[in-house]
Amino acid sequence: MTLQELYSQIQGDYDKAMQVLRMEKLLDKHIRKLPANSIFGLLAAAGESMDANALFENAHAVKGVCANLGLVKLSALASDIAEEFRPGNARRLTDAQVKQILNEIDALYQKTASAIEQYTLSA
C-alpha cells in the first residue's frame, strides 16, 4: 500500500498534508505516529468527565494534528468540540450531542489508526 492509497482509504487529503509537510518522507513519518498519539485518549477522558477546559484543550490539539496531516473530517469534528468549549463561547450543544460527536471522533480515529497500522505493516 502506498501513502496515497492509505490517504484514499482513510478519506484524508493527501495534497493538503503535503502542502503542510512538503515532503512525503515527513508525512510518512508523522502519519505512522498517529495511532500512538495520546491526545485522542485524553479527549475521550475529558468527554467522560465533561471537563470544559480539558475538552477545549484536547479537541484543539486533535484539530491541529489532524489538520496538519490532512485528516479533514477528524479535524472538523474536533473543531466542533473545541469551538463548543472555547472560553468565552456560549454552549450551543447538549451534553448528549457533545458525546455523540466524541463517539464519531473515536470511531473515525479507530478506523484511521487501524488503516495506518495496516499501512505500516505493508511497508
Q: From CA 59, how far away is CA 27, in angstroms rounded?
A: 22
Q: From CA 47, how far away is CA 106, in angstroms rounded?
A: 11
Q: From CA 97, how far away is CA 21, in angstroms rounded?
A: 34
Q: What's the predicted TM-score (pTM) here?
A: 0.95
DSSP 50: T
- Domains contained in the chain, CATH given: 3-122 (1.20.120)
Look at residue 47 in the predicted model and tell me its pLDDT.
97
Residue 11 predicted with pLDDT over 90: yes
Q: From CA 98, how far away is CA 80, in angstroms rounded?
A: 9
**Interval 43-67: pLDDT, tens:** 999 999 999 999 999 999 999 999 9
